[in-house]
């Protein structure tokens, strides 16, 4: 009997289904959604600079947050005004520097940088510890961090991309954010979390641990359809559903990869 064909080492399984209320097809990365990826900020995260810098505890905040639109920026500005000095290390500096946002020559909006990283990032030694001031405030208030943080910050490492056909039909893909999605700068990262086996150490699959984020990105009804499918799919596990990063750790580097 011929051996079953071997999948490429970086293969992912995807599922597609129609939106129940819109002229839209959803295309979802099943392999990532069933993986045990989790954020390991402060627990092994190497940062996104050109060299590993775990001691700086900057995570993916070194370059600031780039906003998706004016609404996103306005929401974060309002949230900044509610933070205390204990929650936010650079609160007084933000007031002296005309706010927390900046625009580049093309009009794109991002958070200001202070000492080489996002103005909202509390550094090691700050009262209450290092980390995003907005994230800390959300946890202390008992609300999801996505209510206060910039869209790109709470969505990572999830990535949704919409494309529109000539007839108006929309295809929305939902998967993981990889270094190539950062453009040329991503190639310079010495480390990226979805490529690190250490980050696939969570208790629950991504579709469970990031339910709030997924619901905000795709809606409650679509999330319900997706979660129902993934629960059933999880019970019929095959090697392809092991994330490639974890597969490589088990088998060793693949030649030419």
Mean pLDDT of 17-42: 97
Predicted confidence band at 2 (pLDDT cuts at 50, 70, 90)? low
pLDDT for 44 equals: 95
Above 70 in pLDDT, residue 249?
A: no
User: d(Cα 247, Cα 192) in Å, to the nearest integer?
Assistant: 17
pLDDT for 234 equals: 86
Q: Is the pTM of this model over 0.85?
A: yes
Above 50 in pLDDT, residue 111?
A: yes
Mean pLDDT of 132-144: 97
User: d(Cα 233, Cα 196) in Å, to the nearest integer?
Assistant: 25
H runs (alpha helix) in the chain: 30-33, 70-80, 91-96, 133-141, 151-155, 206-209, 211-218, 220-234, 244-251
The contacts of residue 224 (CB under 8 Å, 6+ apart) are none
Predicted confidence band at 96 (pLDDT cuts at 50, 70, 90)? confident
pLDDT for 254 equals: 40
Mean pLDDT of the chain: 91
User: d(Cα 160, Cα 165) in Å, to the nearest integer?
Assistant: 17
pLDDT for 257 equals: 34
Question: Computed from CA positions of residues 189, 125, 73, 116, in that sequence, does the dihedral angle turn out positive or negative?
Answer: negative
């Amino acid at each position: 009997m011929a051996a079953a064909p071997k999948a490429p080492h970086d293969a992912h399984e995807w599922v597609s289904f129609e939106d129940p209320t819109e002229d839209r097809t959803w295309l979802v990365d099943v392999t990532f959604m069933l993986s045990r990826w989790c954020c390991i900020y402060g627990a092994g995260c190497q940062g996104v600079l050109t060299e590993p810098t775990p001691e700086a505890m900057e995570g993916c905040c070194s370059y600031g947050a780039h906003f998706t639109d004016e609404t996103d920026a306005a929401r974060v500005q309002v949230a900044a005004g509610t933070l205390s000095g204990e929650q936010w290390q650079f609160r007084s500096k933000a007031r002296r520097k005309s706010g927390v946002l900046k625009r580049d020559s093309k009009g794109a909006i991002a958070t200001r940088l202070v000492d080489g990283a996002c103005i909202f990032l509390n550094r090691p030694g700050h009262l209450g510890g290092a980390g995003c001031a907005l994230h800390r405030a959300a946890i202390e208030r008992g609300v999801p961090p996505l209510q206060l943080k910039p869209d790109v910050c709470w969505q990572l490492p999830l990535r949704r991309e919409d494309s529109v056909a000539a007839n108006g039909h929309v295809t929305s893909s939902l998967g993981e954010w990889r270094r190539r999605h950062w453009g040329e700068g991503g190639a310079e990262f010495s480390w990226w979390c979805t490529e690190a086996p250490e980050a696939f150490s969570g208790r629950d699959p991504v579709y469970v641990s990031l339910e709030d984020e997924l619901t905000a990105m795709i809606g409650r009804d679509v999330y319900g359809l997706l979660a129902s499918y993934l629960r059933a799919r999880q019970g019929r596990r095959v090697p392809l559903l092991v994330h490639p990063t974890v597969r490589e750790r088990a088998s060793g580097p693949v030649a030419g990869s």
